[in-house]
Amino acid sequence: MTISAPIPDSKLPALGTTIFSQMSALAQQHQAINLSQGFPDFDGPDYLQQRLAWHVAQGANQYAPMTGVAPLRAAIADKTAQIYGWQPDANDEVTITAGATEALFAAISALVRPGDEVICFDPSYDSYAPAVQLSGGVLKRLPLQPPAFNVDWQRFDELLSARTRLVIVNTPHNPSASAWRADDMQRLWQAIAEREIYVLSDEVYEHICFARGGHASVLAHPQLRQRAIAVSSFGKTFHMTGWKVGYCVAPPALSAEVRKVHQYLTFSVNTPAQLALADMLRADPQHWQQLSAFYRAKRDRFVQALSHSRLEILPCEGTYFLLADYSAISDLDDVAFCRWLTEHAGVAAIPLSVFCADPFPHKLIRLCFAKQDATLDAAAERLCRL
C-alpha cells in the first residue's frame, strides 16, 4: 500500500506564483528584453559595494540588533527630518526590515484582526492582499481609473465602515505611476480623523517622483503620521533590489507592534548591508537627492523613443514604470498580450489587470525603465516595429 503525502488545505487557495516571477522566467526563456519585473539592469554605487566588503572584512557578520543597526536608524531619522520636516526618534520609531515586503507584511499582521476591513486602491501592489487574507481581514478595493488613477474621495468615504481598521496607500504608485498630492493626504486625514483607522503608506518610490510639488509623504502630514506606518526600500533608492533592506517609520506604539511581528518573522536584517547603507547615506546624500532627475532622464528618453510606436504612453509622475496602451496594436487581453509580446516581439512587460479584483478591461501594460540607455533604446526599437 502506498501512502500519499497529504495535500494541505491551502490558506491561500487562489494564489499562484507572482506575475513578476512568471514574466521574468518567460523573458529568460525567450531571451526577451526584460522590462517586466521592476529592477535595474545596472549596479548600485561603487562606494556602497566597497563599504559592504569592508564591513564583512571587519567581522560585522553576526546578528544585527532586532530593530536595526543604530547608525542606519540614525541616518534614516536625519534624512526624514531633512526631507519631510520632522525627525522620528531613531530608537523608537525607525525599524529596519528585510525589504519593504517584510515591513508591509509585519505591519498588516500586527494591525489587522479577523473581520477587520482594509482599504486599498486598485490596481494595487500584489503583496497587500495575501497578507490581509492571512490575518483574516477583508480587503475593500477602491478602483482607480486610467489615465490619471486619481482617488474618488467620495467613493472612499462610502467604503469606510465601523470595521475599517487600515488604509493602504502607495505613492508614487506601482503599477500606475501616478502620485498623490499633499491635498490627497489631507483628504485622507479628514476622512479618518474621527475614527480609529491606521494608515500603511508604501512609499518605496519616495525618491523617484516627478510630480510638481514633489513626493507627498504621510510623514510630512503632522496628524496623519501619528496614525501611520511609512515604508521605504533601499532596493529602489540604491539600485540594489537583491539586498532586500527596507525600513518603516511609525510612532512608538505602532512601531512596538510591528516589531513584535518582525522579531519572529526575520528577527533582524543583514548586518554588513545595514552598516554599508548607513555609510552611504552619510557619505553621499546627493545620490538620493538626484534620483528623481536620474530617472526623469530615463523616462523622457524612453517616452521619446516610443513616440514613433503605436503605443499610447500614459502620464508618469513617479516610480520607474511607464504605462502604455496597446489597443492600436492588438485585441488580445493584457495577460495574453504580455505573453505574446515576450515570445514574439522580444520585450517582456507586466499586465495591469492582475493587480485588480474587478475586471480591468483596459489594454495597458507596465514597462520598467530602470535600465541602461542601450537597453531602453533596443526595447523601443522592437516596440516601434509593432
Asked whether the beta carbons of 327 and 363 are under 8 A apart, the reply is yes
Asked if 172 is part of the footprint of ligand GLN (rule: CB under 6 A), the reply reads no
Asked if 360 is part of the footprint of ligand PMP (rule: CB under 6 A), the reply reads no
* Nearest distance in Å: CB 368, ligand GLN: 7
CA separation for the pair 193, 180 (Å, rounded): 19
* Nearest distance in Å: CB 37, ligand GLN: 5
Contacted by 170, from ligand GLN, ligand PMP, none: CB < 5 to 8 Å by type: ligand PMP
Asked if 97 is part of the footprint of ligand GLN (rule: CB under 6 A), the reply reads no
User: Which residue in the set 18, 49, 186, 241 belongs to the binding site for ligand PMP (CB under 6 A)?
Assistant: 241
Asked if 36 is part of the footprint of ligand PMP (rule: CB under 6 A), the reply reads no
Question: Applying CB under 6 A, what is the total number of residues that bind ligand GLN?
Answer: 5
User: Which residue in the set 36, 80, 95, 170 belongs to the binding site for ligand PMP (CB under 6 A)?
Assistant: 170
- 30-33 contacts at long range (C-beta below 8 A, 24 or more positions apart): 30/342, 30/343, 30/346, 30/348, 31/346, 32/341, 32/342, 32/343, 32/345, 32/346, 32/347, 32/348, 33/346, 33/347, 33/348, 33/375, 33/378, 33/379, 33/382
Asked if 37 is part of the footprint of ligand GLN (rule: CB under 6 A), the reply reads yes
Question: Applying CB under 6 A, what is the total number of residues that bind ligand PMP?
Answer: 14
User: Which residue in the set 22, 101, 164, 271 belongs to the binding site for ligand PMP (CB under 6 A)?
Assistant: 101
Task: Name the amino acid, one letter, at 100.
Answer: A
Asked whether the beta carbons of 80 and 219 are under 8 A apart, the reply is yes
Grid cell in block for residue 329: 496594436
CA separation for the pair 312, 315 (Å, rounded): 10
Grid cell in block for residue 69: 543597526
Scored b (16 or more CB within 10 A) or e, 26-58 reads bbeebebbbbbbbbbeeebbeebeebbeebeee
Q: What angle do CA 172, 178, 182 make, to 5 degrees?
A: 65
Task: Name the amino acid, one letter, at 67.
Answer: T
Binding mask 195-214 for ligand PMP (x = CB under 6 A): -------x-x----------
E strand segments, the chain: 33-34, 94-97, 117-122, 138-143, 164-170, 198-202, 228-233, 246-249, 312-313, 321-325, 347-348, 350-351, 364-368
User: Which residue in the set 22, 27, 34, 38 belongs to the binding site for ligand GLN (CB under 6 A)?
Assistant: 38
Which of these, 204, 203, 198, lies nearest to 238 by C-alpha position?
204
Residue number, 37 or 274, with CB nearest to ligand GLN: 37
Residue number, 72 or 370, with CB nearest to ligand GLN: 370
Asked if 130 is part of the footprint of ligand GLN (rule: CB under 6 A), the reply reads no
Residue number, 321 or 329, with CB nearest to ligand PMP: 321
* Nearest distance in Å: CB 244, ligand GLN: 10
User: Which residue in the set 40, 99, 123, 318 belongs to the binding site for ligand PMP (CB under 6 A)?
Assistant: 99
From the CB of residue 148, how many other CB atoms can be counted at a distance below 10 Å? 12
Which of these, 312, 296, 294, lies nearest to 386 by C-alpha position?
312
Asked if 246 is part of the footprint of ligand PMP (rule: CB under 6 A), the reply reads yes
* Nearest distance in Å: CB 164, ligand PMP: 22
Residue for cell digits 496614525?
Answer: 227
Q: Which residue is nearest to ligand GLN (CB)?
A: 38
Asked if 20 is part of the footprint of ligand GLN (rule: CB under 6 A), the reply reads yes
Contacted by 18, from ligand PMP, ligand GLN, none: CB < 5 to 8 Å by type: ligand GLN
Contacted by 235, from ligand GLN, ligand PMP, none: CB < 5 to 8 Å by type: ligand PMP
* Nearest distance in Å: CB 220, ligand PMP: 19
Q: Given the rule CB under 6 A, which residues bind ligand GLN?
A: 18, 20, 37-38, 174
Q: Given the rule CB under 6 A, which residues bind ligand PMP?
A: 38, 99-101, 125, 170, 174, 202, 204, 233, 235, 241, 244, 246
